[in-house]
Amino acid sequence: MAQTIDGHFDVLIAGAGISGIGSAYHLQTQCPDKSYLILEAMEDYGGTWRTHTYPGIRSDSDLYTFGYRFKPWIGPPIATAEEILNYMGEVIDENGIDQHIQYSHTITGARYSSTEKLWTVQATNSATGEDKTYTCTFLWMCQGYYNHAEGYTPQWDGMADFKGEIIHPQTWPEETDLKGKKVVCIGSGATAATLVPAIAGECEHVTLLQRSPTYFFPAENRNEFADELRRIGVSDELVHELARKKALFDQDETCQRCLTEPEVVKAELLEAARGYLGPDFDIDTHFTPKYRPWQQRLAFIPDGDLFQGIASGAASVVTDEIERFTETGLQLKSGQHLDADVIVTATGFNLSVLGGIPFEVDGKPVDFSQTVTYRGMMFTGVPNMAWVFGYFRASWTLRVDLMGDFICRLLGHMDAERMDEVRVELRMQDQDMEILPWMDANNFNPGYLMRSMHLMPKRGADPIWQHTQDYWKESEELPAVDLSADEFVYSRRSAAQSTAA
Ligand SMILES: Cc1cc2nc3c(=O)[nH]c(=O)nc-3n(C[C@H](O)[C@H](O)[C@H](O)COP(=O)(O)OP(=O)(O)OC[C@H]3O[C@@H](n4cnc5c(N)ncnc54)[C@H](O)[C@@H]3O)c2cc1C
């Protein structure tokens, strides 16, 4: 049966989250002649910031760096989901991006033909059930890194016995009423650290139950440097640029210090916690992780709100392991029982590799775990495609900007050379290179990545075949990449195909 094509675009962007909107901006600014479409599964833009609606939802990195390079941030550095959505909405409106977005369109498959040098992308309109087909030359994957439909909840003995409510923060029911309830929040990451102080005043009591502690970095939710620049009349654009530079400088310094003097940084973090919690609080048990600072994401807590909640008595922290769920709460391995009406499982995400979308190249399914990544953005054996996978130690969006520049330069290079296809391929000197998992677990090891590392593309020993997670290096290296280097293999459509197209 002949296939109806609902449109051809030079570039198709998957997802209208912060990556997709930023990538669209860069594309239309740097490659104004390219036609493009964004396919977004949800009814509106925002991705992460629309999916997560739990109490207190906010960024944990500062918006001078989580915001885009090109759009000044003028609010407090740590922003609520609503503020981030407003910011993204302004970017969409100010740049006419809306007309390029198809909402409620879930990509269900992508097939590449090396003969036609084209992707054929299937999508389903969730509002009407209608299946659609698009073609594009380049696929810019901005679908994020986790499954939006459902968070990760480990299975514990006795869960079915629990008479109260179990809620995962990713799917927070709108009607949840915690008044007068005892709540236990399982987890010690950024989500738990946000949620616990946000509900502390509302419920009877909330207990943060963690298996092991996390480092928290309490600081005022204001940027003195930016405030001072504003006070003396510096423009929003310049404040953004300078505050961003300063934030990056400070973050780099912290990262370096975590490597060169981890014990000093650790002592500072623990001292800050003690400042809120008092000299008698058991910091050793509850807030002293075994790993060095930054080995897992360092969770920023604005104004020390988590510590304040604990100090006030409205919240408490227990460091223990769950033996089983009971009818009335949680039986812990130490013998303690935690009574609960509501148990919140802030236990993380399910990693999703390329949105779980089935990919095919020339009729063969792509197994991404058998590919090697070029700088954590392109993949061997998968032409004309890039995945925006941001940073974890620095703001995700910094990479959206850097990759935007890179991909636009790549598209421009292909046009200049009259090429229709780019592939990344291991070079002669890479043939004996050691092939390793996506991420070095000693470098960065969050649970969702550890659980699914076997599904992720591989990295090679040479840094060009890795997502180094190093913004500072990449900010120098990416703009300088030689697009004629041997790892890039370009080709043209045959003359016959070009005529047909
Ligand atoms: C609660 C929370 C707080 C966070 N805070 C920070 C922070 O402070 N700083 C930081 O750097 N990072 C943070 N992160 C990481 C965060 O996810 C990223 O920074 C960023 O928001 C990811 O943006 P994205 O656009 O790449 O992906 P997402 O936000 O996941 O958006 C992807 C979009 O693609 C769409 N999509 C997915 N699959 C398909 C498909 N098949 N077809 C069509 N559309 C599809 C989704 O519907 C979604 O809209 C946080 C994450 C969470 C969950």
Domain boundary among 331, 347, 363: 347
- Is the pLDDT assigned to residue 405 strictly greater than 70? yes
Q: Quick one: 180 and 260 in the same domain?
A: yes
**Measured between alpha carbons, how far is 361 from 154 in angstroms, rounded to an integer?**
35
pLDDT tens, 307-338? Answer: 999 999 999 999 999 999 999 999 999 999 99
Q: Quick one: 11 and 127 in the same domain?
A: yes
**Measured between alpha carbons, how far is 319 from 345 in angstroms, rounded to an integer?**
15
Closest residue CA from atom 32 of ligand 1: 143
- What's the total number of domains in the chain? 2
> What average pLDDT score do residues 91-108 get?
98
Q: 125: Cβ–Cβ under 8 A, 6 or more apart, which residues?
A: 104, 105, 131, 132
Which of 133-142, 286-295, 432-441, 474-483 comes out lowest in average pLDDT? 286-295
Q: Quick one: 337 and 380 in the same domain?
A: no
From 43, 48, 50, the mutation candidate for ligand 1 (largest count of ligand atoms within 8 A of CB) is: 48
Domain boundary among 293, 326, 347: 347
**Measured between alpha carbons, how far is 270 from 204 in angstroms, rounded to an integer?**
28
Q: 172 C-alpha vs ligand 1 centroid, how far in Å?
A: 17
Range of the domain at 162: 153-347
The predicted pLDDT at position 108 comes to 98
Our answer on whether the CB atom of 445 is closer than 6 Å to any ligand 1 atom is no
Q: 51 C-alpha vs ligand 1 centroid, how far in Å?
A: 9
**Residue 286 one-letter amino acid:** H
CA 411, 412, 414: angle at the middle one, nearest 5? 65
| Nearest atom within ligand 1 for CA of residue 143 | 34
- pTM for this one? 0.95
Q: Quick one: 45 and 137 in the same domain?
A: yes
**Measured between alpha carbons, how far is 188 from 250 in angstroms, rounded to an integer?**
25
Our answer on whether the CB atom of 389 is closer than 6 Å to any ligand 1 atom is no
> What average pLDDT score do residues 65-83 get?
97
- Is the pLDDT assigned to residue 82 strictly greater than 90? yes
How confident is residue 449, by pLDDT bands cut at 50, 70 and 90?
Answer: confident
Q: Quick one: 133 and 227 in the same domain?
A: no
Q: Quick one: 191 and 137 in the same domain?
A: no
Q: Quick one: 182 and 234 in the same domain?
A: yes
Share of the chain above pLDDT 90, in %: 88
| Nearest atom within ligand 1 for CA of residue 78 | 8
Our answer on whether the CB atom of 60 is closer than 6 Å to any ligand 1 atom is yes
Our answer on whether the CB atom of 302 is closer than 6 Å to any ligand 1 atom is no
Residue 91 phi/psi, 5-degree rounding, is -60, -45
Residue in 447, 438, 498, 485 with CA at minimum distance from that of residue 466 = 438
Domain boundary among 347, 374, 404: 347
Q: 301 C-alpha vs ligand 1 centroid, how far in Å?
A: 21
Q: CATH number for the domain including 259? A: 3.50.50.60
Share of the chain above pLDDT 70, in %: 98
Residue in 367, 327, 373 with CA at minimum distance from that of residue 164 = 327
Our answer on whether the CB atom of 41 is closer than 6 Å to any ligand 1 atom is yes
The predicted pLDDT at position 196 comes to 97
Q: Quick one: 375 and 457 in the same domain?
A: yes
**Measured between alpha carbons, how far is 331 from 328 in angstroms, rounded to an integer?**
9
Q: Quick one: 204 and 123 in the same domain?
A: no
Average pLDDT, the chain: 94
Which of 162-176, 365-379, 435-449, 462-476 comes out lowest in average pLDDT? 435-449
Our answer on whether the CB atom of 148 is closer than 6 Å to any ligand 1 atom is yes
Q: Quick one: 172 and 295 in the same domain?
A: yes
pLDDT tens, 480-494? Answer: 999 999 999 999 998
> What average pLDDT score do residues 246-254 get?
91
